[in-house]
C-alpha cells in the first residue's frame, strides 16, 4: 500500500512542472509560470520553511531572464548538486546549484524555445528547441551548436540519452528521433498509432526508448531498428505525460488526465496509484530518489 505525503513547493498558478534529484539527495522542481526552480531537502532535522514538520527545507531560485515570458520548463541533474534548467521563454539554459545560478547559456537562435534537456556524464548537455525544429549541444566551454531535427513544425519536446546516443520525441510529427552518436544523422521513426502525441521519453536498460503517447493514452517502446511496441493504458483519456526508470524494474508514468501514477513493467503490465488523496491534480514531472520514493510535481 503506497502512502502519499504532500509538500507545498509553489502555488497552483506557479505551475510545479518538472522534477529532478541530485546525488546529494536534494529534490528540484521547476515552477514553470514563475520562471523559477525550487530546491528542497527532505528529512533534514530542524528544517525551516514549508512543511517544517516533515523536515522539508525549501529554497527558490529565479532563472527567468526578463527578456521573454517567464517559463522555466525542464530540470535535469547535472552533477552531484547542480541542475540544468531550460528557460524556454528566455531562450537559455541555466546551470543552478545550492547557492543559486552558476551559469547562464544563451541559445544563439532567437525564439528557439529550449525545452527538454539531457545531461551527459562528461559535463556537456543536449537540449531540444521547440520553436526551431532543432537540437542543441552545450560543450564544456559553454559553446552551443545547433543541429536540425529533421522535422518541420514537429514540436521536438523531451530528450533522453544513453552514452553518446540520443532519443527525442517530436510531438506534432508523431515520431521518435534517434541519433547514434552526437555527430550522426537523425533517424525519425513514425509511431504506428496516428496522432499519438509523444511527450516524455527515457532510455531503458536495453538501449531502447520508452515514451508516452499523451493523445493515445498509451506508453510505447521503440528499439534502434525502429521496431515499436505500444502498451495501451486502462483509460484512453488518461494523458500520460512524463516517465522515468524505476531502479527496481520497469517505469513510472504520470497520468495527467486521470490524476494517477502508473507503474509499468517491461511487458507493459500496469499498476495504478490514485493521487486524489493528495488533494492536488494534474501530475506532470516525476523522479525516483535513492530510497525508491517517487516524487511527482502536481
DSSP state of 45: T
Identify the residue whose cell numbers are 528540484. 28
Distance of CA 236 to the CA centre of its chain: 22
The answer to whether 245 touches 204, Cβ cutoff 8 Å, is yes
Residues recorded for the chain: 298
Per the annotation, the verdict on 7 as an active-site residue is no
Q: What is the 3-state secondary structure (H, E, C) of 122-168?
A: CCCEEEEECCCCEEEEECCCCCEEEEECCCCCCCEEEEEEECCEEEE
Q: How far apart are CA 162 and CA 114, in angstroms?
A: 20
Q: Which long-range contacts (CB under 8 A, 24 or more apart) does 49-56 make?
A: 50/7, 50/8, 50/9, 51/6, 51/7, 51/8, 54/5, 54/7, 56/7
Q: How far apart are CA 218 and CA 238, in angstroms?
A: 9
Q: Which long-range contacts (CB under 8 A, 24 or more apart) does 12-18 make?
A: 16/284, 16/285, 16/297, 16/298, 17/72, 17/73, 17/74, 17/284, 17/285, 17/297, 18/73, 18/74, 18/75, 18/242, 18/284, 18/285, 18/297
Catalytic residues: 284
Amino acid at each position: 500500500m503506497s502512502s502519499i505525503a504532500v509538500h507545498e513547493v509553489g502555488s497552483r498558478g506557479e505551475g510545479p512542472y518538472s522534477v529532478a534529484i541530485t546525488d546529494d539527495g536534494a529534490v528540484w522542481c521547476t515552477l514553470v509560470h514563475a520562471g523559477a526552480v525550487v530546491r528542497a531537502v527532505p528529512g533534514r532535522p530542524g528544517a525551516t520553511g514549508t512543511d517544517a514538520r516533515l523536515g522539508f527545507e525549501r529554497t527558490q531560485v529565479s532563472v527567468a531572464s526578463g527578456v521573454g515570458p517567464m517559463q522555466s520548463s525542464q530540470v535535469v541533474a547535472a552533477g552531484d548538486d547542480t541542475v540544468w534548467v531550460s528557460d524556454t521563454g528566455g531562450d537559455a539554459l541555466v546551470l543552478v546549484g545550492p547557492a543559486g545560478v552558476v551559469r547562464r547559456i544563451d541559445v544563439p537562435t532567437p525564439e528557439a524555445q529550449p525545452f527538454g534537456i539531457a545531461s551527459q556524464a562528461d559535463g556537456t548537455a543536449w537540449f531540444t528547441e521547440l520553436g526551431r525544429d532543432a537540437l542543441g549541444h552545450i560543450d564544456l566551454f559553454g559553446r552551443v551548436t545547433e543541429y536540425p531535427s529533421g522535422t518541420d513544425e514537429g514540436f521536438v519536446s523531451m530528450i533522453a540519452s544513453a552514452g553518446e546516443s540520443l532519443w527525442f520525441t517530436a510531438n506534432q510529427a508523431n515520431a521518435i528521433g534517434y541519433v547514434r552518436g552526437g555527430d550522426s544523422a537523425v533517424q525519425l521513426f513514425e509511431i504506428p498509432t496516428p496522432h499519438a502525441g509523444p511527450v516524455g521519453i527515457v532510455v531503458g536498460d536495453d538501449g531502447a526508448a520508452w515514451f508516452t503517447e499523451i493523445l493515445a493514452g498509451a506508453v510505447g517502446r521503440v528499439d534502434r531498428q525502429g521496431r515499436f511496441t505500444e502498451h495501451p493504458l486502462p483509460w484512453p483519456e488518461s494523458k500520460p505525460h512524463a516517465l522515468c526508470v524505476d531502479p527496481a524494474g520497469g517505469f513510472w508514468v504520470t497520468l495527467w488526465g486521470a490524476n494517477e501514477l502508473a507503474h509499468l513493467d517491461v511487458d507493459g503490465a500496469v499498476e495504478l496509484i490514485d493521487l486524489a488523496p493528495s488533494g492536488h491534480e494534474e501530475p506532470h514531472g516525476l523522479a525516483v530518489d535513492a530510497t525508491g520514493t517517487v516524487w511527482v510535481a502536481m
